[in-house]
């Protein structure tokens, strides 16, 4: 039976995907005066001025994979939570809990056949032999542990059985890895001692880049769980009681907690926390975990329809949501749903390389995620008027929104009717182009949008800080346009193609104008 339990543990456990590595552009409450080249004015239409309940919600096609759908976890706001690190003292009192599941041998045989390509020959044959022996004895079902927790955290590695390593028994399992050429490599690994198994885990975790703190806490988990299973000193949990999609149940949620990286006014967020839904997403294409904050407007009515104001860079922009919501409370703006997007709390990006990768290098993949995964999910859970919704991005995010609007025609789903292109750092995209097949002409030609289309049925707000060019002067290569030169050329192209856009320069450096700009845009685009 040992072989059966080991294999089923492999099937039962779903390891969460983590990414590590966000330097911020501090933009909380900085005041900036305004140099108004033109006011934010866009022609009103009925969708912008009618009451939310008079508009039918938009239906988008959800293209999430089964894995992505199963990863979604919607819950109350946890940003303000104080996360206590697990006790690393092996001599302290620890609690081990185990969830068991009952399975028939017929079900087990079916699972083996369905996963045949992922199972080594030795383990497959041994498992089938165990089934044959059990059925000969008249047994039709068995029980195995599906989840082991130590101090409330799921043990992600396999825990050996109580009789492993006794009387010459070894412990083993099938390991599936991807080779250098992308081929799947399946091998059976076994261990003659518990310490040998622990050394294997340390080696694997080192290859994955885990810190010693995380690795040794994981080792302690396995040691405590193994001892509890041997001695019977564990609590039995009801079948189905552990939600393996709950990210707070994993060790890295406590050990790799970067909530302190986020910038916001705690008291202001406390005041609106009951109106915030926090949703965890995983995107297969980018291989990233994301957290989305959905801030509902005052007097939110689930039967009414609202536009979305979608903010990238949620690590900073969620901090602007209390002020934006207060504009709605005070009757200075119509009710809208505020949505902000960033990485999960176990991801840190002090040098902004992950952010640059996803907003600039892999901008098409991020656009796929927002267009075909995230916004369709939100439309299924909230009544949204996509035609009147806005997508905002600044700096590298401005590069992203420029890409988003001028590739919007390539998508079946149309989640946004308005776009904010803030201080687009197009020169950063050219840096990447040194190792990329895309030519600068693709950007300077707005991704060929007007080669494919005569008109653009979206509105754009193009903005920047009039003082910002020196801010990144050391990053400009010879021949690069500065940020403001790039903005000026965008403006010229928009004018030449008759784009419905507004251009405004704020008397500000690179990011200081953002809070003021967002409030001004909200009041203008969504008047009460």
Residue range 202-241, pLDDT digits in tens: 998 888 777 888 899 999 999 999 999 999 999 999 998 9
Output the pLDDT for position 244.
87
Distances (CA, A) of 179 to 11, 18, 120, 183: 21, 21, 16, 5
In sequence order, the 6+-apart residues with CB closer than 8 A to the CB of 321 are: 272, 276, 293, 295, 311, 338, 340
Alpha-helical segments (H) within 86-211: 105-114, 121-136, 194-207
Judged against a pLDDT cut of 70, whether residue 267 lies above it is answered with yes
- Supply the pLDDT for residue 121: 78
Task: Outline where DSSP puts E strands in 171-316.
Answer: 171-178, 184-191, 235-237, 276-283, 288-295, 308-311
pLDDT bin (cut points 50, 70, 90) of residue 179 is low
pLDDT for the residue 32: 34
Going by C-beta distance under 8 Å and a sequence separation of 6 or more, which residues neighbour residue 269? Answer: 77, 79, 80, 276, 318, 319, 322
Residues 304, 290: contact at Cβ < 8 Å?
A: no
486-496 pLDDT per residue, tens: 999 999 999 99
**More confident: 18 or 362:** 362
Q: Comparing C-alpha atoms, which of 136, 147, 140, 126 is closest to residue 14?
A: 147
Q: What is the pLDDT of residue 297?
A: 98
Q: How far apart are CA 172 and CA 167, in angstroms?
A: 15
pTM for this prediction: 0.73
**What mean pLDDT comes out for the span 76-87?**
91
Give pLDDT, residue 130.
Answer: 86
Higher-pLDDT residue of 16 and 149 is 149
Please state the rounded mean pLDDT for residues 421-442.
Answer: 72
What is the spatial distance between Cα 438 and Cα 50, in angstroms, rounded to a whole number? 43
Q: Among 257, 251, 266, 250, which Cα is nearest to 348's?
A: 257
Q: Report the pLDDT averaged over residues 108-119.
A: 83
Rounded Cα distance, 454 and 117, in Å: 51
- Residue at token pair 């050996």: 160
Asked if the model's pLDDT at residue 433 lies above 80, the reply is no
Task: Select the more confidently predicted residue: 208 or 263.
Answer: 263
Answer yes or no: is pLDDT of 83 > 90: no
Q: Where are the domains of the chain?
A: 2-16+84-255, 46-81+258-525
- In this prediction, residue 15 carries a pLDDT of 36
pLDDT at 441: 65
- Model pLDDT, residue 171: 86
**Can you give the pLDDT at residue 475?**
86
Structural contact between residues 289 and 346, judged by C-beta atoms closer than 8 angstroms:
yes
Residue 434 has pLDDT above 90, yes or no: no
Tell me the C-alpha distance between 466 and 35, whole Å. Answer: 8
Fold of 46-81+258-525: Rossmann fold (3.40.50)
Instruction: Estimate to the nearest angstrom the gap between the alpha carbon of 511 and the chain centroid.
Output: 24
Helix, strand, coil share of the chain (percent; to 5): 40, 20, 40
Can you tell me the mean pLDDT for 131-141? 89
Order of strands across the sheet that contains 337-343 = 73-76, 276-283, 288-295, 337-343, 308-311, 390-394, 418-422, 459-465, 500-506
- Written as six digits, the tokens of 460 are 């754009």
Contact call for residues 149 and 96 (beta carbons, < 8 A): yes
pLDDT at residue 19, as a whole number: 32
Count of residues in the chain: 528
* CA–CA dist 525, 452 (Å, integer): 28
Residue 303 has what pLDDT?
A: 94
Percent of the chain topping pLDDT 70: 86
To which residue do tokens 């990768």 refer? Answer: 357
Higher pLDDT, 6 or 108: 108
Residue 294: pLDDT over 50: yes
pLDDT for 23 equals 34
Q: Which residue has the higher pLDDT, 418 or 181?
A: 418
pLDDT of residue 182: 60
As a whole number of angstroms, the distance between CA 127 and CA 109 comes to: 9
Tell me what pLDDT residue 180 has: 60
Residue 219: which H helix or E strand, with range?
Answer: helix 212-231
């Amino acid at each position: 039976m040992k072989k059966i339990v080991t294999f089923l543990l492999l099937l039962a456990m779903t390891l969460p995907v983590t990414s590590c590595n966000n330097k911020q552009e501090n933009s909380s409450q900085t005041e900036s005066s305004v140099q108004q080249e033109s006011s934010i004015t866009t022609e009103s239409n009925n969708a912008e001025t009618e009451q939310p309940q008079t508009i039918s919600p938009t239906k988008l096609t959800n293209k999430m994979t089964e894995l992505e759908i199963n990863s979604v976890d919607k819950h109350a706001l946890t940003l303000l939570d104080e996360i206590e690190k697990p006790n690393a003292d092996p001599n302290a009192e620890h609690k081990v809990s185990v969830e068991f599941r009952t399975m028939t041998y017929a079900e087990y045989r079916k699972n083996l056949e369905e996963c045949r390509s992922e199972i080594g020959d030795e383990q497959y044959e041994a498992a089938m032999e165990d089934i044959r022996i059990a059925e000969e004895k008249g047994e039709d079902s068995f029980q195995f542990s599906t989840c082991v927790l130590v101090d409330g955290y799921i043990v992600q590695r396999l825990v050996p059985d109580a009789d492993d390593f006794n009387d010459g028994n070894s412990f083993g399992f099938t390991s599936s890895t991807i080779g250098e050429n992308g081929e799947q490599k399946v091998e059976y690994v076994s261990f003659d001692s518990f310490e040998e198994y622990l050394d294997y885990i340390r080696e694997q975790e080192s290859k994955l880049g885990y810190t010693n703190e995380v690795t040794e806490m994981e080792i302690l988990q396995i040691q405590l769980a193994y001892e509890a299973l041997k001695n019977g000193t564990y609590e039995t949990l009801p079948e189905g009681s552990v939600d393996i999609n709950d990210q707070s149940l994993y060790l890295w949620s406590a050990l790799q907690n970067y909530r302190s990286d986020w910038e916001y006014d705690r008291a202001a967020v406390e005041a609106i926390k009951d109106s915030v839904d926090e949703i965890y997403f995983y995107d297969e294409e980018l291989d990233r975990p994301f957290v989305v904050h959905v801030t509902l407007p005052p007097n939110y009515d689930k039967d009414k329809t609202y536009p979305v104001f979608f903010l990238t860079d949620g690590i900073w922009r969620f901090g602007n949501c209390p002020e934006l919501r207060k504009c709605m409370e005070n009757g200075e703006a119509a009710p809208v749903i505020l949505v902000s997007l960033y990485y999960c709390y176990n991801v840190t990006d002090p040098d902004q390389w992950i952010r640059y990768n996803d907003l600039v290098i892999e901008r098409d993949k991020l656009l796929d995620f927002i267009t075909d995964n995230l916004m369709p999910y939100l439309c299924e859970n909230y009544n949204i008027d996509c035609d009147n919704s806005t997508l905002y991005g600044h700096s590298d995010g401005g590069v992203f929104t420029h890409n988003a609007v001028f590739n919007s025609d390539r998508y079946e789903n149309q989640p946004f009717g308005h776009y904010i292109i803030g201080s687009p750092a197009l020169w950063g995209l050219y840096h990447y182009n040194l190792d990329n097949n895309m030519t600068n002409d693709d950007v300077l030609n707005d991704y060929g949008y007007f080669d494919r289309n005569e008109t653009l049925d979206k509105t754009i707000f193009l903005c920047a800080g009039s003082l910002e060019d020196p801010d990144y002067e050391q990053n400009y290569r010879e021949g690069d346009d500065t940020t403001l030169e790039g903005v000026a050329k965008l403006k010229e192209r928009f004018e030449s193609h008759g784009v419905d856009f507004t251009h405004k320069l704020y008397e500000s450096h690179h990011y200081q104008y953002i809070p003021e700009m967002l409030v001004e845009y909200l009041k203008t685009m969504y008047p009460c």
